[in-house]
Amino acid sequence: MGALWQSEPNSTEAPSEHLEPSPLPKSPRQRRLWWRLLWLVLLLALIALGYAASEEMRTSRLQAREFSQFAATLSYSMQSGPSDAIRYPGDGPFDKRLGYSSLGEFLPRLLKRDYVINEQTRFSPALMDYVDHGFFVPYAEKIQAGLSITDCKGDALYQFHYPQHLYPDFASIPPVIVHSLLFIENRDLLDPDDPLNNPAVDWPRFAKAAYTQVAKYLALPGQSAGGSTLATQLEKYRHSPDGLTASGSEKI
């Protein structure tokens, strides 16, 4: 009597109809096409970035928009009594000459002599944080300050003004002075064909100054150049210690 054997199919072997063909490798032509497309996108991005940077250097449109919005939060107000939110200027020549740098010493001495602080400026929280990071307080500066003592009739007994001589407006400055400064510092500063020119930054001059600083650090031959424009020089002569900017943070 014979026995019938039925062999079971191997469960580990997948049926032929379920086998998927392996993907074919990309041809060299397809790979070259993808690389060319990638380089094209990168080139277009660099062109767009270069154009945007060129326009920003010429017009400062983005900086003007963002900085003006930020500057709107840097406010201060005059309030009654002594201020608990204020920072006094540093050791700039103008600030020292007018006594602003010594207000922190003058006011306590006056209080000890029974003087009263009737009103004083208070900074907004944003302005306090801004100043604590080492930045200069933006405010409308007086072009002249001084002291006047009058009698009961209003006649002056004593008067002193600093500076003693000044031009009341830009139109009063002799053209020879204006043209001399422009010739030395920046001949394109008042160009009527470029009204959006940023007077605080001269990008070619800044790039040259940066290069000379790097060359100086590497002990390369050459003369170092300054990157301060006429506008920044007017500020540093007033508010930087000794009228000089000895570091990058001080220049900012």
Domain boundaries, the chain: 36-69, 74-165, 167-252
pLDDT of residue 73: 92
pLDDT at 29 over 50: yes
What is the rounded average pLDDT of the residues 14-32?
63
pTM score of the predicted model: 0.69
Range of weakest confidence among 9-23, 45-59, 80-94, 202-216? 9-23
CA angle 235, 64, 121 (to 5 degrees): 55
3-state secondary structure of 185: coil
Beta bridge partners of 159: 148
Most confident of 118-122, 143-147, 160-164: 118-122
Mean pLDDT of the chain: 84
CA angle (81 as vertex; 76, 87 as ends), nearest 5:
45
**201: Cβ contacts below 8 Å, ≥ 6 apart:** 60, 229
Task: Say what the pLDDT of residue 1 is.
Answer: 46
Contact 123, 87 (CB under 8 A): yes
Which DSSP category does 78 fall into?
Answer: E
- Each residue's pLDDT tens digit, 36-67: 899 999 999 999 999 999 888 888 888 889 99
Asked if residue 18 has pLDDT above 70, the reply is no
Across the range 27-34, mean pLDDT stands at 78
Go through the chain and tell me how many residues it has. 252
